[in-house]
Amino acid sequence: MNKEIKKLSKDKLRILPLGGLGEIGMNALVLEYDEEIILVDCGLLFSDLEYFGVEFIIPDFTYLIERKDKIKGIVITHGHEDHIGAIPFALKAGIHAPIYASPFTSLLIQERLRDHGLADRTEIKTFQVGDLIKFKHFKIKTVSVNHSIVESVALFIDTPVGKVVHTGDFKVDPTPFYGKQLEKKIFEEAGKNGVLLLLSDSTNVEREQHSISESYIYKKFSELFDDAKGLILVSMFASNIGRMGQVFDLAKKLKKKVAVAGRSMDQNIKHAIEAGYLKTASKSLIALDDLNSYNRDKMIVLSSGSQAEIGSALFRIGIGEHRQLSVGEGDLVILSSRYIPGNEKAIGRMINSFFKQGAEVLYEAIEDIHVSGHATAPELKQMLKWVRPKFFIPVHGEYRHLVHHARLAQSCGVDSQNAFIAINGDVLELTENSLEKVDHLEDTRVLIEGRAGNDISRLVLKDRRQLGEKGVVFSLLVRNQKSQEILSGPEIISRGLVHENQEGWLVEEAKKQVIRVVKEYESQLHQNVQLIDLQETIRLELRRFFNKNIGKKPIVLPIILDL
Ligand SMILES: [Zn+2]
């Protein structure tokens, strides 16, 4: 991101999504007015490039780093990874603003900062849901919404150009397990007083049925738990405290014991108890090691790993390699979470292995054992009708979700030119009467390798992809530095292309190609002519050779050692 960005116009509110628009994940929204910047959320995106070593993707913070003295706060809507996961990387990149988060969310953030050795690096200012956060140009009221993690908030932001409402991730749940019903009155009131801009969650815009309440799960689990003849293994997102609360309540009621498998779930349960949730947990919680002291039909195991992540507790139980727990005939496995797109195959394999071990498995495709935390079209319509914004930007969605949501807004009375589809990197400016795109940042993402968090460049990724797809061939020659004569070689080594035991002839033939080039080179040596570029000629000849013989152009690395 080297190009000069258009200067912020006076009296305009700049809105710059660094992530979350055009994909589900990596939410980060810059709000900038005069000499003040607020960042709303700072999340990561789990990568589908894991075969190339990319574990996740974070926003490119260059824009913020270049203006770091202006950043006055990072305000977090809730504790999901796609909203908080990039905070440690923002701090490492040199952003030093206080972080504003609810009590439970703060605990999750602190843990991530500790993991990265950054615990003392910044201040976390904890707000209670409903509190007002004041900056010079921005006054932000946090408003409770329903979602699949406790203490999710929408932000009502008073700015010098007008009121901006950011829904955060939300659904309208008449009977949430924790927290209040979403208070439509607050949204309606804002609408009556005039909302300039609404930014709203687009995840489930394609769904036509109103989302199902979290407490439906209680009924469903109650039936399943009651009927269970063996151990019950329930997996869910490790952050879904509301759903865990239901499991603990049912366990108490049915006099069953609950053990926890998986580090992230273990930690989140501790944080939730500290923040005042899971009040019945202490009655039924036992250590995983103590499972064998109870009858199998008295046991419930809560496990993380619902996405079949390699190494997760559920994955290891699935393949029969968990130290403390195995499942078999009579046991019930409940996968109470959605499949994150891209994980379907891995989850499918995990389900197969549970069945192979004799357990019964329930998952979303065959049984209603999961409800989404995101509003569907009818709720999104309600939101638009309550808030009645002048301008509308759909957020938190893939591009098609944004398109559908913008159309929905138009059907709810937003002027067609005011329902604005923006993507990551769009530099937008808002006034009382206008919303326009004034610039665009090209690269808004950074690829992160492993938990240690090294970023890798796109060029490295391109190399890895090519190495994976095409293999590599080394050609080695030793040359006399003075006379420029070839002393020995060529030696040909290949990886990921042909197997030398089976297709050794190919390597031998390849060697002959190099020898031919070397001969041409040597004959030129003794004439007074322009020498061929030995390295480049070998590279081209070998690529041509392999392409002709096996239909693949490998990466060729011709190495000439001058002695
Ligand atoms: Zn969320």
Mean pLDDT computed over 6-21: 94
- In percent, the amount of the chain with pLDDT more than 70 equals 97
Instruction: Note the pLDDT of residue 482.
Output: 83
Q: Determine the pLDDT at residue 446.
A: 83
Q: Where are the beta strands (DSSP E) in 304-411?
A: 332-335, 360-362, 391-395, 397-398
Spacing, Cα 147 to ligand 1 middle (Å) = 7
Q: Are residues 398 and 338 in the same domain?
A: no
Cα 383 from Cα 401, distance rounded (Å): 16
Tell me what pLDDT residue 453 has: 64
- What's the pLDDT score for residue 469? 78
Task: Spell out a b/e string for 514-527, using b for 16 or more CB atoms within 10 Å of the CB, else e.
Answer: beebbeebeeeeee
Are 178 and 264 found together in one domain? no
- Are 179 and 278 found together in one domain? no
Determine the structural domain holding residue 147 and report its residue range: 13-209+372-456
Please give the distance, rounded to the nearest whole angstrom, from the Cα atom of residue 42 to the centre of ligand 1: 12
Lowest mean pLDDT among 188-202, 289-303, 359-373, 438-452: 438-452
Whether 199 is covered by a domain: the verdict is: yes
Is 238 a residue whose pLDDT tops 80?
Answer: yes
**Cα Rg, the chain, nearest whole Å:** 29
Give residue 46 CA to ligand 1 midpoint distance, Å: 14
How many whole angstroms from 397 Cα to the centroid of ligand 1?
12
Same domain, 486 and 420: no
* d(C-alpha 531, C-alpha 68), whole Å: 54
pLDDT, mean of residues 27-36:
97
Which pLDDT band holds residue 425 (cuts at 50, 70, 90)? very high
Residue 248 dihedral angles phi and psi, to the nearest 5°: -65, -40
Domain count for the chain: 3
Average pLDDT, stretch 68-90?
96
Residues 223 and 205 reside in one and the same domain: no
Residues 91 and 140 in one domain: yes
Whether the pLDDT of residue 54 is over 90: the answer is: no
Residue 464 lies in a domain: no
In a domain, 367, yes or no: no
Q: Is 5 within the bounds of a domain? A: no
Q: What distance in Å separates the CA atoms of residue 93 and residue 62, rounded to the nearest whole number?
A: 9
CA of 132 to the centre of ligand 1 (A): 21
The alpha carbon of 423 and the centre of ligand 1 are apart by a number of angstroms equal to: 19
Q: Are residues 272 and 389 in the same domain?
A: no
For residue 119 the two structure tokens come to 């615990």
Query: Which of 456, 487, 520 marks a domain boundary?
Result: 456
Among residues 307, 336, 362, which one ends one of the domains? 362
Mean pLDDT, range 174-192, rounded to an integer: 94
Please, which pLDDT band fits residue 355 given cuts at 50, 70 and 90?
A: very high
Residues 223 and 191 in one domain: no
Q: Is 466 within the bounds of a domain?
A: no
- In the structure, what pLDDT confidence band is assigned to residue 169 with cuts at 50, 70 and 90? very high
Distance 80 CA to ligand 1 centre (A): 5
- Residue 97's pLDDT is 95
CA 196 to chain centre: 30
In this predicted structure, what is the pLDDT of residue 438? Answer: 95
Give dist(CA 41, CA 320) in Å, integer: 39
- Amino acid, res. 537: T
Rounded to the nearest angstrom, the distance between the alpha carbon of 293 and the centre of ligand 1 is 38
- pLDDT-derived band at 50, boundaries 50, 70, 90: low
Looking at the structure, tell me whether residues 356 and 376 fall in a common domain: no
C-beta neighbour count of 355 within 10 angstroms: 13
pLDDT average, residue stretch 81-100: 94
CA–centroid distance, 375 to ligand 1, in Å, is: 11
Strand-pair partners of 260:
302
Residue 51 has a pLDDT of 64
How confident is residue 502, by pLDDT bands cut at 50, 70 and 90? Answer: low
The pLDDT mean for the chain works out to 91
CATH of the domain at 512: 3.10.20.580
Calculate how far, in angstroms, residue 224's C-alpha sits from the geometric centre of ligand 1: 27
Average pLDDT over residues 483-497: 83
342 and 386 together in one domain: no
Residue 58: which CATH number? 3.60.15.10
Please indicate, yes or no, whether the overall pTM of this predicted structure exceeds 0.75. Answer: yes
Q: How far is the CA of 379 from the centre of ligand 1 (A)?
A: 16
Distance CA 449, CA 455 (A): 6
Contact 55/25 with Cβ under 8 angstroms? no
What's the CA-to-centroid distance between 491 and ligand 1, angstroms? 55
> What are the φ/ψ torsions at residue 131 (nearest 5 degrees)?
-70, 160
Ordered DSSP codes for 212-235: PPHHHHHHHHHHHHHH-SS-EEEE
Tell me how far the alpha carbon of residue 77 lies from the centroid of ligand 1, in angstroms. 9
Whether 445 has a pLDDT exceeding 90, the answer reads no
Between 443 and 146, the more confident residue is 146
- Residue 1: is its pLDDT beyond 60? no
> What local confidence, expressed as pLDDT, does residue 376 receive?
97
Question: CA 262, 337, 51, 90 torsion: positive or negative?
Answer: negative
Regarding whether 355 and 275 lie in a shared domain, the answer is yes
Provide DSSP, 533-555.
Answer: -HHHHHHHHHHHHHHHHHS---E
**Residue 320 belongs to domain with CATH number:** 3.40.50.10710
Question: Do residues 450 and 431 both lie within one domain?
Answer: yes
Find the 83 Cα to ligand 1 centroid distance in Å.
7
Residue 443: its pLDDT value, please? 77
pLDDT band for position 5 (50/70/90)? confident
Q: Which of 362, 385, 417 is the last residue of a domain?
A: 362
Q: Is residue 6 part of a domain?
A: no
Q: Within a domain: residue 159?
A: yes
pLDDT tens for residues 273-328?
Answer: 999 999 999 889 999 999 889 999 999 999 999 888 888 999 999 999 999 999 99
CA 397, 399, 403, 406 dihedral sign is positive
| Sheet strand arrangement including 486-495 | 486-495, 472-479, 555-562
Q: What's the CA-to-centroid distance between 66 and ligand 1, angstroms? A: 29
Separation of 354 CA from ligand 1 center, angstroms?
29
Residue 186 domain-assigned (yes or no): yes
Identify which of 396, 369, 111 has the alpha carbon closest to the alpha carbon of residue 246.
369
